[in-house]
Amino acid sequence: MKFSTSGYGKEKKFTELVLYITSKLSNDQFLGGIKLNKVLYFSDFTAFGLLGRTITGMDYQHLPEGPAPRAMYPIQQRMVQSGVLAIEPTPIYKHVQNRPKPLRHAEMSYFSDQEIAIVDRWIERLRPLTGKQASDLSHDTFGWRTTIDGETIDPRTVFIAYRTPAASDIVRGQELAKRYGLTA
């Protein structure tokens, strides 16, 4: 059964995705709130680029550590209160990391195979990274670089590169423009 991405359905789908990601990364020594936020962000924005919609329907905001779902804290608090997620303070290096720990399996019927494939790719891409490294990666996105603290990051920014394209990218773009009659 698929839920809509409005109201209760949106929060429920988001909750299930948090449970899925934290379960898949349960043995990741670097899993904390920052890394969880980055898996969610990259997954949602990649889905927007590929599917024309985000997976969760959540808004993302610019924070100093990178993009994060605007509703993350209140939803996470409700997840803890309802007994589906625990937050375990865990020492790592010179810091204490708040590790999210799922207390039940995610309900997968909320997601399409395409959505889970996108999430799984980002889980594997970010798995070897620390929270700081994942945060730094998110700082290279156009959406984060062009907003300030607290501003909403538009998912359409996934289509805009921040870095200068490589020469091979320019050549390929010119080939495609010519093929599809987009040049004069």
The 8 Å CB, 24+ separation contacts for 136-142 are 137/38, 138/38, 138/41, 138/42, 138/66, 138/67, 139/66, 141/45, 141/67
Flag whether pLDDT at 5 surpasses 70.
no
In this prediction, residues 8-23 reach a mean pLDDT of 94
The whole-number pLDDT of residue 8 equals: 63
Name the helix (H) or strand (E) containing 15: helix 7-24
Q: Which long-range contacts (CB under 8 A, 24 or more apart) does 92-100 make?
A: 92/29, 92/30, 92/32, 97/30, 97/32, 97/33, 97/131, 98/32, 98/33, 99/31, 99/32, 100/18, 100/22, 100/31, 100/32, 100/33, 100/36, 100/76
Residues 122/42, Cβ–Cβ less than 8 Å = yes
Rounded to whole angstroms, how far apart are CA atoms 142 and 145? 5
Per residue in 114-135, pLDDT tens? 999 999 999 999 999 999 999 9
In percent, the amount of the chain with pLDDT more than 70 equals 95
Please indicate, yes or no, if residue 2 is contained in any of the structural domains.
Answer: no
- pLDDT at position 166 is 85
- 155 domain-assigned: yes
What is the number of domains present in the chain?
Answer: 1
Residue 97 in any domain: the answer is yes
- Mean model confidence pLDDT for the chain: 92
Tens of pLDDT, residue by residue over 32-71, are 999 999 999 999 999 999 999 999 999 999 999 999 999 9
Q: How many CB atoms lie within 10 A of CB 152?
A: 13
Contacts of 23 (CB under 8 A, 6+ apart): 102, 105, 106
pLDDT at 7: 56
Residue 114 lies in a domain: yes
Residue 4 has pLDDT above 80, yes or no: no
pLDDT at 150: 97
Give the domain extent around 132.
7-179
3: pLDDT strictly greater than 60: no
51 within some domain: yes
